[in-house]
C-alpha cells in the first residue's frame, strides 16, 4: 500500500470532491481516504498509519492517536494564516491543484530535513548547458526538472548570472545560492547539510537559487565544482541533481565533465549551431570527450513568453514541455 493521505472535514462535499481530484492525478503516490465521522478516523488510527492528515478547521485533534500520524495540516476557511496555530494552516477555498501543491511542498521540505543523507549509488547529475542564454532554454531546464521530480527525488540548481522570474508560482528566493557558495568556498564541513537548510520547494522539486550578485557564480573554481559534485554523490539522498549552466568557463566545463548527461537546447538558427560547434571544438582541444553524454535538441520559440513569466500550469501547455518529456522518456 502507498502512503496514506486522509481528509476529515465537516464539509463532507468538499472533502469528497478533493479526494476525487487527487485520485485522478496519475502523479500522486498516496492512497486517499475521506472520513466523515471522527470515531471512524479514531478507529482507523488504532491499526493504521497516516502519512498526511488534512483536518478541517474547528475539529478537535486532541483525542487522535498522534503516534500514527506523521504530518497534520489544518484546512483553514480563511486565507490569513494564524501564527499561533499548532499545525500548518492550508487555505482550502481555492483551486485544488494550488492546495495540494502547498501541502506537497511543505511535506517535501519536512521529509528533506529529516531524511538520512544516504544514497548508495549516488544521484545522476544532469546539466542543461546553455552557452547563449535565452528564456526558452531556461524554460526547457525548468520543464526537465519538474517532470523528473514527478518520478524521482530531484534537486534543481539554476546557475543564472542574471536571474529573472520565468516561472511565477514558485517560492520567492533571496540569496540562498550565494550564501551556499560562500560556505563552500570557505571549505566548511558538512556542505550538504548547509545546502539543505537553504533549499526552497515547489511541489516535489527541491531548488537551490537566489543570488546577491552573478559574480558569486563566477567566483566558483574548478576545484569548488569537484568538491560540490563529489559531496552530492556521496552524501545526499537525491536521485537526480539538475544543474542549469548558462556560461562557458573552466568551472562549467568541469561540471560538464562530472555530469552523466548534458542537454544542450538550441534555437533553430545558425548562430546557436555554430556556437555549440565551437564549444565542442574547444572542449576537444583540452581533451574532453563529451560525445557520449552530449544531447543536443532543437527547441521552438515560445511566443507567449515574450519576456513575461508563466505559471506552472501554462508551462505544461508549451511545446518545450513535450520536448523535455521526450528527453526523460529516452533516459
Judge residue 165's burial from the number of C-beta atoms within 10 Å of its C-beta, 0-12 exposed, 13-18 middle, 19 or more buried: exposed
Say what the pLDDT of residue 268 is: 93
Where in the chain are all domains bearing CATH 3.40.50.10850? 3-114
Instruction: State the Cα–Cα distance between residues 117 and 189, nearest whole angstrom.
Output: 15
pLDDT at 60 exceeding the cut of 60:
yes
The 10s digit of each residue's pLDDT in 90-127 is 888 888 877 887 888 788 777 766 554 455 567 999 99
> Which residue has cell 568557463?
249
Answer for the pair 103, 32: CB distance below 8 angstroms, yes or no. Answer: no
pTM of the model: 0.73
Tell me what the mean pLDDT of segment 304-321 comes to. Answer: 84
* More confident position, 39 or 177: 177
Q: How many residues does the chain have?
A: 331
Residue 118: count other Cβ atoms within 10 Å of its Cβ.
Answer: 9
Q: H/E element holding 217?
A: helix 215-218
Q: How far is CA 246 from the centre of its chain?
A: 19
Which residues have C-beta within 8 Å of that of residue 220, sequence separation ≥ 6? 181, 184, 185, 251
CA distances (Å), 25 to each of 2, 18, 30, 290, in order? 14, 11, 10, 38
- Give the max Cα distance, the chain: 72
Between the alpha carbon of residue 172 and those of residues 47, 65, 164, 184, the distances in Å are 41, 36, 11, 23
Phi-psi region at 210: left, alpha or beta (left = phi > 0; alpha = psi -120 to 50)? left
Where are the CATH 3.40.50.300 domain residues in the chain?
A: 124-330
- Return the percentage of the chain with pLDDT > 70, whole number: 93
**192 touches 236 (CB < 8 A):** yes
Residue 48 CA from chain centroid, whole number: 30
* H helix or E strand, kind and range, residue 111: helix 96-114
CATH class of the domain comprising 3-114: alpha beta
CATH 2.60.120.260 for domain 124-330: no
Amino acid at each position: 500500500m502507498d502512503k496514506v493521505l486522509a481528509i476529515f472535514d465537516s464539509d463532507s462535499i468538499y472533502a469528497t470532491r478533493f479526494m476525487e481530484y487527487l485520485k485522478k492525478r496519475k502523479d500522486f503516490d498516496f492512497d486517499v481516504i475521506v472520513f466523515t465521522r471522527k470515531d471512524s478516523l479514531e478507529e482507523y488510527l488504532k491499526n493504521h498509519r497516516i502519512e498526511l492528515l488534512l483536518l478541517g478547521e474547528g475539529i478537535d485533534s486532541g483525542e487522535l492517536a498522534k503516534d500514527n500520524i506523521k504530518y497534520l495540516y489544518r484546512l483553514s476557511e480563511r486565507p490569513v494564516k494564524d501564527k499561533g496555530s499548532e499545525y500548518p494552516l492550508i487555505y482550502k477555498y481555492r483551486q485544488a491543484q494550488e492546495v495540494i501543491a502547498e501541502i506537497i511542498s511543505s511535506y517535501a521540505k519536512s521529509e528533506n530535513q529529516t531524511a538520512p543523507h544516504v544514497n548508495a549509488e549516488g544521484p545522476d547529475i544532469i546539466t542543461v548547458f546553455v552557452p547563449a542564454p535565452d528564456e526558452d532554454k531556461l524554460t526547457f531546464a525548468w520543464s526537465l526538472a519538474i517532470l523528473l521530480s514527478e518520478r524521482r527525488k530531484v534537486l534543481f540548481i539554476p546557475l543564472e548570472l542574471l536571474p529573472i522570474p520565468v516561472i511565477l508560482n514558485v517560492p520567492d528566493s533571496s540569496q540562498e545560492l550565494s550564501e551556499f557558495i560562500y560556505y563552500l568556498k570557505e571549505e566548511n564541513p558538512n556542505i550538504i547539510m548547509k545546502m539543505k537548510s537553504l533549499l526552497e520547494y515547489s511541489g516535489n522539486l527541491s531548488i537551490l537559487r537566489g543570488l546577491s550578485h552573478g559574480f558569486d557564480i563566477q567566483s566558483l573554481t574548478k576545484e569548488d565544482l569537484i568538491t560540490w559534485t563529489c559531496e552530492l554523490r556521496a552524501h545526499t539522498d537525491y536521485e537526480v541533481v539538475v544543474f542549469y549552466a548558462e556560461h562557458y568557463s573552466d568551472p562549467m566545463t568541469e561540471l560538464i565533465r562530472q555530469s552523466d548527461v548534458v542537454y544542450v537546447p538550441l534555437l533553430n538558427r545558425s548562430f546557436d549551431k555554430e556556437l555549440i560547434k565551437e564549444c565542442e571544438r574547444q572542449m576537444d582541444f583540452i581533451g574532453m570527450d563529451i560525445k557520449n553524454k552530449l544531447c543536443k535538441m532543437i527547441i521552438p520559440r515560445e511566443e507567449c513568453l515574450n519576456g513575461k513569466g508563466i505559471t506552472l500550469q501554462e508551462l505544461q501547455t508549451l511545446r518545450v514541455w513535450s520536448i523535455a518529456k521526450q528527453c526523460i522518456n529516452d533516459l
